């Protein structure tokens, strides 16, 4: 409800009604709305950590890993209304900062780890400075989440996000990586045709 409608417009009565519980039951587990918001954000942070752990344990190669993460970023981005970001930042600045810092650090760590993995797999350029690219990737992701910028770009579709990722990959892949990328794109296109 918070991500869809924003935080300010949702009351504890609305939440209790949506959960089909009494407000008294809600207040049994949460001190107040601020406590609820803090714990909702804690849960969101936990879910994202678990996702990243799953990515690290997966059998994806470095290129597939980036496509998988890119898809998740787009899905998450499209499920949060601009009002949610605004309300969290304005009315819960400490929680917002902690949430944003966690997202930034997770993204940075993921990209640095991905670049190291890609180098080991022989698909990324050896001369890449992982920390610089990690910072650039985080900045780019945040830019796309800036609603003033995304309003100018209008709707940010999954195709748009994929083009940005391909642009990124062309900057970091060596010749072997570009062949792997072409094979992955070809395999994905064939899979999409099968699904139709």
Comparing 152 with 130, which gets the higher pLDDT? 130
Please give the Cα distance from 102 to 110 (Å, whole number): 12
Residue 103: φ, ψ to 5°: -60, -45
Rg (CA), the chain: 20
Residues with Cβ within 8 Å of 52's Cβ and at least 6 positions away in sequence, in order, are: 106, 109, 110
Structure tokens that stand for 196 in this block: 């139709």
Say whether pLDDT at 151 is over 90: no
pTM: 0.86
Beta carbons within 10 angstroms of residue 182's beta carbon? 11
Task: Give how far Cα 42 sits from Cα of 23, 45, 103, 136, 159, Å.
Answer: 22, 5, 12, 26, 31
pLDDT in tens, 99-132: 999 999 999 999 999 999 999 999 999 999 999 9
How high is the pLDDT of residue 180? 96
Q: Is 124 helix (H, G, I), strand (E, B) or coil?
A: strand
Instruction: Please report, rounded to a whole number, the percentage of residues in the chain having pLDDT higher than 90.
Output: 72
Confidence of residue 182 (pLDDT cuts 50, 70, 90): very high
Q: Is 187 exposed, middle or buried (0-12, 13-18, 19+ CB in 10 A)?
A: exposed
Mean pLDDT of 124-141: 95
pLDDT in tens, 7-46: 999 999 999 999 999 999 999 999 999 999 999 999 999 9
Q: Is 196 helix (H, G, I), strand (E, B) or coil?
A: coil
Taking CA 164 as the corner, what is the angle to CA 84 and CA 61, rounded to the nearest 5 degrees? 100
Please give the Cα distance from 181 to 169 (Å, whole number): 8
Strand partners, 173: 124
Structure tokens that stand for 168 in this block: 């990124």
Say whether pLDDT at 153 is over 70: no
Say whether pLDDT at 154 is over 60: no
């Amino acid at each position: 409800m918070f991500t869809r409608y924003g935080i300010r417009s949702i009351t504890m009565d609305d939440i209790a009604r949506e959960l089909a519980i009494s407000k008294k039951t809600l207040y049994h587990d949460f001190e107040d709305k601020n406590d609820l918001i803090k714990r909702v954000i804690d849960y969101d942070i936990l879910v994202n950590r678990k996702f990243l752990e799953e990515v690290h344990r997966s059998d994806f190669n470095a290129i597939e890993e980036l496509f998988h993460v890119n898809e998740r970023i787009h899905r998450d981005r499209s499920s949060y209304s601009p009002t949610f970001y605004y309300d969290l930042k304005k009315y819960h600045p400490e929680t917002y900062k902690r949430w944003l810092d966690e997202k930034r650090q997770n993204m940075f760590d993921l990209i640095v780890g991905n670049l190291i993995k890609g180098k080991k797999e022989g698909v990324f350029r050896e001369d890449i400075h992982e920390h610089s690219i990690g910072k650039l990737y985080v900045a780019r992701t945040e830019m796309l989440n800036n609603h003033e910028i995304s309003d100018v770009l209008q709707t940010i579709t999954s195709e748009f996000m994929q083009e940005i990722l391909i642009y990124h990959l062309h900057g970091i892949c060596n010749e072997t990586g570009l062949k792997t990328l072409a094979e992955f794109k070809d395999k994905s296109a064939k899979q999409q045709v099968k699904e139709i």
